[in-house]
Amino acid sequence: MIKLGKLTDYAIVVMVQLAREGSDASRSAHQLSNRTGLPEPTVAKVLKTLLKEKLVLSARGAQGGYKLAIKPEELSIRTIVEAIDGPISIVACVDAGDHSCQAQARCPTKGRWDPVNSAIRDALESIRLSDMAQGQCARSYDFIQPVLPAAQVGNG
């Protein structure tokens, strides 16, 4: 099973809530916690990371809080995922700095994960925060090319 980390899931929930509130709306961690049902310490932790990654802005004071730094229609879900989890790859060995696999020198799948990783990245890139906020995620995945040649697909 491929699964996002909990903090990534929570970050998307918080960002969707901010997008629904409008680009000019500033909300405190407490308000966002109440609106999303997530624990306030978790919301605060997610917001701190999103602020560091420049996906949200913060202001202090009575009218302060957090708001989106990027318009929802310009922000991809991929950007949010990578802000929390780092680069997207289905297996660790494709990461540039990871050399922990003992079979890497003779691995029959070395380099074969690239099309899969690209398809996942492209799918997440195609979905905008505005799509998630409106409940209308893109359904067209024409850009995903089969990993196997067409003659081999389904001939298991």
Instruction: Show the domains of the chain with their CATH numbers.
Output: 6-134 (1.10.10.10)
The residue ranking higher by pLDDT, 132 or 150, is: 132
Q: Nearest Cα to 32, choosing from 134, 124, 50?
A: 50
Per-residue pLDDT band for 92 (boundaries 50, 70, 90) equals low
Measure Cα distances from 46 to 12, 40, 83 in Å: 9, 10, 10
pTM, entire model: 0.78
